[in-house]
């Protein structure tokens, strides 16, 4: 069997996974993006198993149908919106997932919130440039935290907000008052969430009903001092509307880890927007998560080879 491990940008997959258990097979690590669909097809034509790192490389039906040798596709994480599961099923490709550590992304979200509120990147850069005129940061205690999506991630974010002495509000389409109360949050209407939040943080899955959910109309409802934080998926936020709101001073700032297009183009308007903290989709990148990802990936492959595939998405 030939096994491809994709998008190992940091060259650490081999270190974190027990690949020696697959010693009788050929494992190839890809350290650079393969590129567009045509390059993906050419690059993976001779592989039986492909291991995807989250959604860095998409697998639409047009790619899957052109990989006749592909038998198993493993994705890190418990879901992957970039894989056409119907196409995989139709072409006899098994798709397995891995577990993940939600706390990794929760900590990343709070790192961004605190960095934005206290202007950590700007102040660190000023210090190194010899400037000692700190700006006035924002205290979170007593402020309102608005959470879009109160699943495992959103619920953990809510609990930390409570620990910081924040009022916690939440909304999602199917959220109940009972679920909100379990994590110390209050269920409110969508417009009220945007209007009252001093910090709005997004923890929803990307779907047809969440794409563009935070747009120009929603941003207009927000306080001029409010901050938008997105560690979920880029397309949930209308990036052009967000960039315009930041440039116009309609909101106070944004902290972002995810984008419509990744890597983010150097000419993107968000890179020129004021009062931002931006990271290159690192919310899931941490040692504990990588240990889970790659151990489970090897286990998924072993189970498939034994005829008993596990953690199936198809």
In degrees and rounded to multiples of 5, residue 8 shows phi and psi of -85, 65
Superfamily of the domain at 102-278: NAD(P)-binding Rossmann-like Domain (3.40.50.720)
Are 107 and 257 contacting, i.e. CB atoms less than 8 angstroms apart?
no
Say if residue 133's pLDDT is above 90: no
Gap between the Cα atoms of 205 and 311, Å rounded: 19
Is residue 203 among the annotated active site residues?
no
Which residue, among 263, 264, 265, 245, has the nearest Cα to 254 in the 3D structure?
245
pLDDT band at 37 (very low <50, low <70, confident <90, very high): very high
Stretch 12-29: mean pLDDT: 97
Is residue 233 among the annotated active site residues?
yes
pLDDT in tens, 100-117: 998 999 999 999 999 999
Active-site residue (options: 54, 119, 203, 281) = 281
pLDDT in tens, 214-266: 999 999 999 999 999 999 999 999 999 999 999 999 999 999 999 999 989 99
**Which helix (DSSP H) or strand (DSSP E) does residue 117 occupy?**
helix 102-117
pLDDT in tens, 290-299: 999 999 999 9
Question: Which fold does the domain 2-101+286-305 belong to in CATH?
Answer: Rossmann fold (3.40.50)
When the pLDDT of each residue in the chain is averaged and rounded to a whole number, the result is 97
Which residues make up the CATH 3.40.50.720 domain(s) of the chain? 2-101+286-305, 102-278
The dihedral through the CA atoms of 23, 26, 31, 35 has a sign that is negative
Q: What is the DSSP string of 8-64?
A: -TTS-HHHHS-GGGGTTSEEEE--S---SHHHHHHHHTT-SEEEE-TTSS-B-HHHH
Give the Cβ contact number of residue 217 at 10 Å. Answer: 11
Percent of the chain with pLDDT over 90: 97
Active-site residue (options: 119, 233, 239, 299) = 233
pLDDT in tens, 175-197: 999 999 999 999 999 999 999 99
Which residue has tokens 């939040």? 197
Stretch 274-287: mean pLDDT: 96
What pTM was estimated for this model as a whole?
0.92
- Which whole-number Å values give the CA distances from 277 to 69, 114, 158, 245, 270, in the listed order? 43, 10, 21, 15, 10
């Amino acid at each position: 069997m030939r096994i491809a491990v994709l998008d190992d940008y940091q060259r650490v997959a081999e270190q974190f996974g027990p690949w020696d258990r697959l010693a009788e097979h050929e494992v190839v690590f890809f350290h650079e993006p393969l590129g567009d669909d045509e390059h993906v097809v050419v690059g993976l034509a001779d592989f039986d198993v492909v291991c995807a790192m989250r959604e860095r490389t998409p697998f639409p039906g047009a790619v899957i149908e052109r990989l006749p040798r592909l038998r198993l596709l493993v994705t890190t994480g418990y879901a992957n919106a970039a894989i056409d599961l119907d196409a995989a099923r139709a072409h006899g490709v098994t798709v397995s997932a891995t577990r993940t550590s939600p706390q990794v992304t929760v900590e990343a979200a709070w790192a961004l919130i605190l960095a934005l509120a206290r202007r950590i990147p700007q102040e660190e850069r000023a210090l190194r440039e010899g400037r000692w005129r700190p700006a006035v940061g924002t205290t979170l205690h007593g402020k309102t935290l608005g959470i879009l999506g109160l699943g495992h991630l959103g619920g953990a974010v809510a609990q930390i907000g409570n620990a910081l002495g924040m009022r916690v509000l939440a909304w999602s389409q199917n959220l109940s008052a009972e679920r909100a109360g379990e994590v110390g949050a209050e269920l409110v209407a969508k417009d009220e969430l945007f209007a009252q939040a001093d910090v709005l943080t997004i923890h929803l899955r990307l779907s047809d009903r969440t794409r563009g959910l935070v747009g120009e109309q929603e941003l207009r409802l927000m306080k001029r001092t409010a901050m938008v934080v997105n560690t979920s998926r880029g397309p949930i936020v209308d990036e052009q509307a967000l960039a315009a709101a930041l440039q116009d001073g309609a909101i106070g700032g944004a902290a972002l880890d995810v984008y419509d297009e990744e890597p983010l183009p150097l000419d993107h308007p968000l890179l020129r927007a004021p009062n931002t903290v931006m990271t290159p989709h690192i919310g899931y990148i941490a040692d504990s998560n990588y240990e889970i990802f790659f151990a489970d990936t090897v286990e998924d492959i072993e189970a498939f080879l034994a005829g008993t595939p596990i953690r199936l998405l198809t």
